[in-house]
Amino acid sequence: MHLQRFQAAIRKVGPTKPGQLVSNLTHYSPSDPDARVAFKTGKARILAYTASVSVDAARHVITHSHADLADRRDSRYLLAIVEATQQRLQTFGLRMSLVVADAGYCSGENYEQLEARGLTGYIPAHGMYKTERTGFIYDVVSDSYTCSQGKQLTFHKVFVDSEGHAKKRYMAKAADCKSCPIREQCKGKKAKEKRLHHTPHKTHYDRMLARLATRVGKRMRRLRAATVEPVLGSLITSYGLRQISKKRQAGAAKVMYLAAMAYNLKKYLRAAAPPQPISSAIALPQPSHLFWGSVLFCNSHVPSRTAPIALFTSRISPFIVYKISWLTLHIVVIIL
């Protein structure tokens, strides 16, 4: 019976015409069942894995790598990455205090768990979250909204929407809305009372957004882009993560671990190498006609031991440059 329902669901969402989009209900890989169809705007839908890495902001060292299924949101994996990174750092006597990530790792549960673990997060909220509702004022103490007409919308219940997200419902009294002069513009024609919904983690969202709006929060967002993005680009371009040859999630994780080890080892060898001597260079302005005339005059009047001065046109040492400048200045003074 369950198999028939599953097959019916597949036929319902399956494409009926060529060129329609595919999903994990219509396609899978028989040789690699762990691979999932990845959804990303502007890119083709392919079977892939989700690769996540945590990077130290000071030295750009990879502290953890994670290979997960591609049919889930990145926010589902944040706490697992944080916990694994903390355990690895604690073995070396290091402590993690800040967590900076992009909006893909945003969720109210993640905000709450980071605060419970004593970690300061800098994770932007997704575009669907609204801090304020036009025409309504939220009171944290009474946990209620007040409309522009002075009527109160009290908390009703917590429910789960069609996408599986928990939300809190606030409702006004039907008698208050019935006598309201702007009832149709506010609640519509069919509804009996005005209803508002927001996430149960509204306080965590507001604290996170207030933290990101500060000067430190803006700097942390720039720091994330300058820290993680170059590392991911190097892993994809230079360390073979553009396409993984191993199958199953465990094989993908092994490839990621090897790439992270190679990246960290190369960074360690660069840091442990002895410093190389730094050659100095002087940027000279473009010489004028008077300069070359002075040099020719010097070559024809100075002794033969200084004749090679004019030969140094592209590679001139600081001593020769000083000598030419002194002779030029001396001759200019004489001419004037």
Provide the pLDDT confidence category of residue 5 given band limits of 50, 70 and 90. Answer: low
Rg of the chain over all Cα atoms, to the nearest angstrom: 33
> What is the model's pLDDT at position 111?
92
Residues 110/75, Cβ–Cβ less than 8 Å = yes
Provide the token pair at 278.
């730094």
Q: What is the spatial distance between Cα 9 and Cα 16, in angstroms, rounded to a whole number?
A: 14
Amino acid at 107: S
> What is the model's pLDDT at position 208?
92
pLDDT in tens, 286-329: 666 555 555 554 545 444 443 333 333 333 333 333 333 333 33
Q: Which residue has the higher pLDDT, 207 or 27?
A: 207
> What is the model's pLDDT at position 113?
92
Tokens 């575009």, residue located: 127
Phi, psi at 147, each rounded to 5°: -85, 175
Q: What is the spatial distance between Cα 227 and Cα 60, in angstroms, rounded to a whole number?
A: 6
Residues 284/295, Cβ–Cβ less than 8 Å = no
pLDDT in tens, 258-291: 888 999 999 888 887 777 666 555 565 666 655 5
> What is the model's pLDDT at position 336?
31
For 235, residues 6+ apart whose C-beta sits below 8 A from its C-beta are 51, 53, 241, 259, 260, 263
CA distances from 223 to 99, 147, 165 (A): 11, 40, 31
DSSP-derived secondary structure letter, 217: H
Phi, psi at 192, each rounded to 5°: -85, -30
CA distances from 336 to 24, 136, 322 (A): 86, 82, 21
Model confidence at 333: pLDDT above 60: no
How far is CA 220 from its chain centroid? 10
Kindly report the number of other CB atoms within 10 A of residue 297's CB atom: 14
> What is the model's pLDDT at position 213?
92
Model confidence at 215: pLDDT above 90: yes
For 195, residues 6+ apart whose C-beta sits below 8 A from its C-beta are 153, 156, 169, 170, 171, 172, 187
Q: What is the spatial distance between Cα 206 and Cα 210, in angstroms, rounded to a whole number?
A: 6
The pLDDT > 70 percentage for the chain reads 75
Q: Is the pTM higher than 0.75?
A: no
> What is the model's pLDDT at position 331?
31
DSSP-derived secondary structure letter, 103: G
Q: What is the spatial distance between Cα 17 and Cα 15, in angstroms, rounded to a whole number?
A: 6
Q: Which residue has the higher pLDDT, 240 or 54?
A: 54
| 58-67, 83-92, 251-260, 296-305: segment of lowest average pLDDT | 296-305
Amino acid at 324: I
Phi, psi at 169, each rounded to 5°: -105, 135
Average confidence score pLDDT of the chain: 76
Beta-sheet strand order (sheet of 62-69): 36-38, 46-55, 62-69
Residues 227/55, Cβ–Cβ less than 8 Å = yes
> What is the model's pLDDT at position 114?
92
Nearest Cα to 199, choosing from 102, 336, 106? 106
Greatest distance between any 2 Cα atoms in the chain: 110
pLDDT in tens, 155-185: 888 888 877 778 889 988 888 888 888 888 8
> What is the model's pLDDT at position 235?
87
pLDDT in tens, 14-42: 555 555 567 777 777 888 888 888 777 77
DSSP-derived secondary structure letter, 119: -
